[in-house]
Structure 1
Amino acid sequence: MIGLSKGRYAARQAETPQDVAAAQALRARCFGLDTDADAFDNRCTHILIHRVSDNALVCCFRMMPLTGATISHSYSAQYYELSALADYDGKMVEMGRFCIDPEAADPDILRVAWGAMTSYVDAAGVELLFGCSSFAGTETADYLDAFAMLKARHLAPTRWLPSVKAPKVFKYAARLRRKPDAKKAMLRMPPLLRTYLMMGGWVSDHAVVDDQMNTLHVFTGVEIGSIPPARKRLLRAVAG
């Protein structure tokens, strides 16, 4: 059972249908949808981050345990061909539907969220954390330096590289020839993806154009054993 409190925020695991409904309502508001509930919700552990002062829900995400044999049942597998990861031997977890209330922007929220994620990963013995990392909007021109940076430094190992499955994709690794402007790239990189990358994360060589969610997203994986030791200590300090 996940539960931790750090400063102004506390993280806990959803325990009731009302908790899950609150997470779905926050997701819908953050993603600009009328509703945001799907069949995957019933198979996930939902993590809620509340502001201690008024118990307001400010962040949520969900975790789905998987193995190589079941990765085709993941949310990400709707958009990416993941058969290469079917040979992955260790435990996996898909982290999805991550959102932070835009009216509660505070870097401490993300720190507490990653602390809760670390607690879950450690308790379950997870070896690969993965999910879809989203850029707002579907215009690729806004993110060319970010994509060039992903191509130059952060592509998945060939043995795990997802193949194209979605009907609309931007094959940035094949198309881009530019040298990334590092400052512009990091300014346009989504905060969640930036954190994945600081942990040694890697991404697909293409982005999915998701018109329904009005996002571009890349498959993102983090091998827990490859996280830099200093970063692990920071995460576990929050988780503890």
Structure 2
Amino acid sequence: MVSRMPPQRFEVRLARHKAEVQAAQRLRYQVFYEEMGARPAPETAAMARDCDLFDSLCDHLLVIDHCARSDRTPGVVGTYRLTRRSRLPGNQEFYTESEFDLCNLKQIPGEIVELGRSCVHPEYRNRAILDMLWRGLGNYIANYDIRLMFGCASFPGTDPDAVAEALAFLDAHCLAPETLRPRARHGQYISMRRLGGVLPDRRRALRQMPPLIRGYLSAGCHVGDGAVIDTQFNTTDICVMIETENLSDSYARRYQPGAVMANAA
């Protein structure tokens, strides 16, 4: 586990070339498929990279460990995939729309961005690396005048009753405003109200939540109506969203933009 970080060892920025994107895809494969039990298609397993058609439309936010890179392989240890509405061609839908109806959310004017494929190498899972990703995201929001962020966030496993307390808490306390609220698609909808009318316990609910979802809540995020089971990725997914003007004060203070982040080449 990395605990100390010498100055200049780590860098957070957008991917600049194909090799860096491929390094992020290899990290995603390691985390999602090898560690978390997602089921790869044969071609995905052969490449040992998690990739799809959205990768060419996205910006890839990276944390790079310059001490871990070789001549040909960038040392990507953390990543986020960021898809701006302005980057999507024609009537192309967001990845999230394969699970959730975003019609309400997409009515908001201005730039919106989908957050996805967030992961960190297991040897680098500490607060410092996560802070770098969030600071990079803060710069991205400022650089592109992002009005709203959204995306799928996942609980490990495909049994929603295993995280019933968390789902019920989110439904009771964190639903997005109705005018913007995403909703799980018909035929995929799983109710988050899983306690039979019993009020969820906050402490138990938070213990069931992955760190990323707890982080989103700390930032002020809301959730959509319903969850979706993703059998390929072995997860139970919810939709999270927030208008950037409503980010919590603590998030704004901690991750406010610093130096302007370099654009992708």
Using the size of structure 1 for normalisation, the TM-score is 0.89
**Partner Cα distance (1:127, 1:204) in 2:** 18
What residue in structure 2 maps to residue 30 of structure 1? Answer: 31
Q: Which of 118, 121, 130 matches 1:98?
A: 118
Compute the displacement of 1:51 (Å): 2.6
Q: CA RMSD in A?
A: 2.5
Compute the displacement of 1:115 (Å): 0.3
- What is the one-letter code of the residue matched to 2:108? Y
- What is the one-letter code of the residue matched to 2:181? L
Compute the displacement of 1:163 (Å): 2.7
- What is the one-letter code of the residue matched to 1:59? G
Query: More deviation in 136-145 or 119-128?
Result: 136-145
**Partner Cα distance (2:129, 2:152) in 1:** 20
Q: Which has the larger radius of gyration?
A: 2
Q: Which of 120, 131, 139 matches 1:119?
A: 139
**Partner Cα distance (1:107, 1:141) in 2:** 29
Compute the displacement of 1:6 (Å): 7.2
1:63 has 2:77 as partner: no
**Partner Cα distance (2:242, 2:125) in 1:** 25
Q: Which structure features the higher share of helix residues? A: 1
**Partner Cα distance (1:14, 1:226) in 2:** 28
What residue in structure 1 maps to residue 154 of structure 2? Answer: 134
Query: More deviation in 112-121 or 94-103?
Result: 94-103
Maintained 8 Å contact 1:92/1:127: yes
Maintained 8 Å contact 1:79/1:166: no
- What is the one-letter code of the residue matched to 1:171? S
The verdict on how the C-alpha distance between 1:230 and 1:105 changes in structure 2, with shifts beyond 3 A counting, is: closer
Q: Which of 223, 229, 234 matches 1:209?
A: 229
Using the size of structure 2 for normalisation, the TM-score is 0.81
What residue in structure 2 maps to residue 18 of structure 1? Answer: 19
**Partner Cα distance (1:71, 1:223) in 2:** 23
What residue in structure 1 maps to residue 3 of structure 2? Answer: none
SS at match of 2:242: strand
Residue pairs, 1:71-220, within 5 angstroms: 73-165=93-185, 167-173=187-193, 176-220=196-240
What residue in structure 1 maps to residue 249 of structure 2? Answer: 229
**Partner Cα distance (2:211, 2:90) in 1:** 29
SS at match of 1:61: strand
Compute the displacement of 1:103 (Å): 2.9
Tell me the matched-pair count: 236
List runs of 5+ in structure 2 lacking aligned partners: 1-5, 34-39, 70-74, 261-265
Compute the displacement of 1:141 (Å): 2.0
**Partner Cα distance (1:103, 1:50) in 2:** 13
Compute the displacement of 1:39 (Å): 0.6
Q: Which structure features the higher share of strand residues? A: 1
Deviations 1:191-236 (A, max 9, x none): 1111111111000121110001100111110111011223201111
**Partner Cα distance (1:190, 1:212) in 2:** 19
- What is the one-letter code of the residue matched to 2:51? A
**Partner Cα distance (2:90, 2:226) in 1:** 23
The verdict on how the C-alpha distance between 1:44 and 1:70 changes in structure 2, with shifts beyond 3 A counting, is: same
Query: More deviation in 211-220 or 55-64?
Result: 55-64
Deviations 1:61-87 (A, max 9, x none): 1111116x9786111011111111232
SS at match of 2:167: helix
Maintained 8 Å contact 2:184/2:225: no
List runs of 5+ in structure 1 lacking aligned partners: none
Maintained 8 Å contact 1:71/1:86: no
Deviations 1:124-170 (A, max 9, x none): 00010111001111111221111121012111111111233163332
The verdict on how the C-alpha distance between 1:215 and 1:239 changes in structure 2, with shifts beyond 3 A counting, is: farther
